[in-house]
Structure 1
């Protein structure tokens, strides 16, 4: 019996027991769908993280009071004792760093934005130094960016995200118009490019104002984040980072041998840390999903054993007509492998669909990886073959005389 004939017989057998085949597939479908959904969401999160941090450029790093990611309550409590990074610290680094090509600083809070009778709540208010647009690759689609004069004079001008434009200035050009942030008036000079939403939160509900104007409204005591641009990635980045580290330790009087009282993060550090978290999450979720595959494989083995028992006489007739043990083995292995492959295909479609529904419902990013689709089909087929070996071998070893006597 050749492979083509064995495949035809396997299809006929599965089609003859449609309901049983469908019920048998459920375990494999659930397992593969779980794996594909998890991998798709993890890939989406990794892609978002890489895109988010790489938008600053590979040669940009940050200096902040707290790290981007805190992994325990004890660590958070310890880090809260750190002194704030103030605008004077930023000025000190700006004046003394010789390897820094560009520097900027930022603070942020949440406030209500009002224009006439319209308002937007929970808007992010960003206080920028005038260099921040270039450091963050902020694209101004209408109007202009901040200037050094705006910062020097604490001008009440602002740049807005597209959500502010859509909600407060529908159908009109917002450039030159006024809005109020926590009661303080600002004139709009620029509109930023639309960035969309991530993890269910809009990235366009924000207002950027000069940092000096921001601090007049919200005070100067809160910590700022410093952004530093080196000449390029590689050695110049390390040199600039080392120089800034020395300047900050000197400025903050960190004792020799003591840990830094601030956090210096490069894009690679942040991306690596975040990717490690998502991979760990994916490994745990994948392990749980693998249990479903094992259960599905056991169900396949059980059904194939039932099939062997039901078809004992058929097996005896095939052997009497000249079928070799390896022909019987191939027939039953093809049935279990085909059953698992179909379940894997349905699981792949279902997993991608679940991931897309999560993206639509809560804005969690998802990216379909071709390797995960191929791997899902391979793993499903391998599961069917592995758990189908015992029933197929049992069928192949049946004595034809005994098999022909079966009812």
Structure 2
């Protein structure tokens, strides 16, 4: 390792770089661009993944949503175009038949109503729900609490409202918990205020009241507008959706091949497409980044080969003065490693700066596209070490070419 601290060695390297400034700059840029792309692409992919996780983080992603529409085929004496509704009986049957597959099942009823607080009012969604909804789609509460089982059993006139509803109906700074609002001319006590998440929002600005209260006030009997179903771990969510829809078709005398009678959204299936896309993005990122990196390293090898050719006479003189093949080889390899190291460090610095800019520009706010785009330090270190190793290996080729030059032939070189 003595040659690393030999001033003559570094003077030779400095002289070579200074003599070929443009060529050296182009070489460094080639390698810099490779690791720069790797850092930026990996960071952007992570930012996209973080954004996805933030949007769906509070939602049970292995969920299916089911509602009724109108039939598309006549069946068992019923005409095409028949309309029907889900019922609480359907809920009981599904819980019984799919007890092993279903983890959570939330029947829901919704309507739109004028909500009044003193002299302020607005039209909002009103949803009759069970406390289990908070497990499927976690609510970020700013004040108070969500619905509980006691509210269901006592048919309580209580409501959980959104942050926007609170701002529209209440005075600035007014504490909402315990205050009364009127929905459909009936007074409800506000027990909670939630902040709508950045996930899929099926409800918009919605006032949640107990399912039993909704049933009594709006006289819905056993009617259910739609249901949210979450599967247990390891359940095939697509197969469960098909089985549930077939069971509901049998219950409501709908043709088994009727595709219009029930509407459904399989969140697990849709999210699977997105995660598949993210996986493909990561693979493409690694492929493009590493390919560019390798191409840059090969550029260094080509430049050094040209340099060795140009310095044939110089190398011949050094050999004639007693320089050993080993010392010449070490100098060429050290020059290769030095250029790769400088290029790698600059690439990492510039890549990190770009990721900081992306985070500032695209990652801020509730609708951030690329949130916290970062690359793990171990990955950076592995990429950097790999770059150094490649630089060393590629430097062996011109180093070998330099050592096979015979002094007498080199001195004759014009």
TM-score, normalised by the number of residues in structure 1: 0.65
CA contact (8 A) 1:160 1:208 kept: yes
- For 1:400, which of 397, 403, 407 is the aligned residue? 407
**Corresponding residue number in structure 1 for 2:32:** 29
**1:308-327 equivalences in 2 (<5 Å):** 308-327=308-327
**Corresponding residue number in structure 2 for 1:283:** 283
Deviations 1:126-158 (A, max 9, x none): 957232113333342421213565799796834
**Corresponding residue number in structure 2 for 1:135:** 136
What is the distance in 2 between the residues matched to 1:167 and 1:403? 91
What is the distance in 2 between the residues matched to 1:163 and 1:351? 43
What is the distance in 1 between the residues matched to 2:129 and 2:8? 71
Measure how far apart 1:13 and its partner are: 1.7
**1:248-397 equivalences in 2 (<5 Å):** 248-253=245-250, 273-290=273-290, 292-362=292-362, 363=368, 364-365=370-371, 366-385=373-392, 387-397=394-404
CA contact (8 A) 1:104 1:129 kept: yes
Measure how far apart 1:333 and its partner are: 2.1
Change (3 A) 1:403 1:46: same
Measure how far apart 1:332 and its partner are: 1.3
Measure how far apart 1:270 and its partner are: 6.3
Larger CA deviation: 15-24 vs 364-373: 15-24
Give the 3-state SS of the residue equivalent to 1:17 in structure 2: helix
Give the 3-state SS of the residue equivalent to 1:368 in structure 2: coil
What is the distance in 2 between the residues matched to 1:2 and 1:283? 42
**Corresponding residue number in structure 1 for 2:65:** 64
1:227 aligns with 2:234: no
Measure how far apart 1:229 and its partner are: 6.2
Change (3 A) 1:297 1:244: closer
What is the distance in 2 between the residues matched to 1:192 and 1:290? 46
- For 2:90, which of 85, 92, 98 is the aligned residue? 92
What is the distance in 2 between the residues matched to 1:343 and 1:41? 21
- For 2:161, which of 156, 159, 162 is the aligned residue? 159
RMSD, matched Cα: 5.4
Measure how far apart 1:243 and its partner are: 7.4
CA contact (8 A) 2:161 2:193 kept: yes
Segments of structure 1 that go 5 or more residues without pairing to the other structure are: 67-82
CA contact (8 A) 2:64 2:229 kept: yes
CA contact (8 A) 1:348 1:376 kept: no
Change (3 A) 1:116 1:294: farther
CA contact (8 A) 1:146 1:210 kept: yes
What is the distance in 1 between the residues matched to 2:176 and 2:379? 46
Question: Which structure has the greater CA radius of gyration?
Answer: 2
CA contact (8 A) 2:109 2:127 kept: yes
**1:174-253 equivalences in 2 (<5 Å):** 174-175=176-177, 189-192=191-194, 207=206, 209-210=208-209, 224=226, 226-228=228-230, 230=232, 233=233, 246-253=243-250
CA contact (8 A) 1:145 1:159 kept: no
What is the distance in 2 between the residues matched to 1:223 and 1:330? 78
TM-score, normalised by the number of residues in structure 2: 0.65
What is the distance in 2 between the residues matched to 1:388 and 1:118? 77
**Corresponding residue number in structure 1 for 2:73:** none
What is the distance in 2 between the residues matched to 1:146 and 1:285? 45
What is the distance in 2 between the residues matched to 1:41 and 1:26? 21
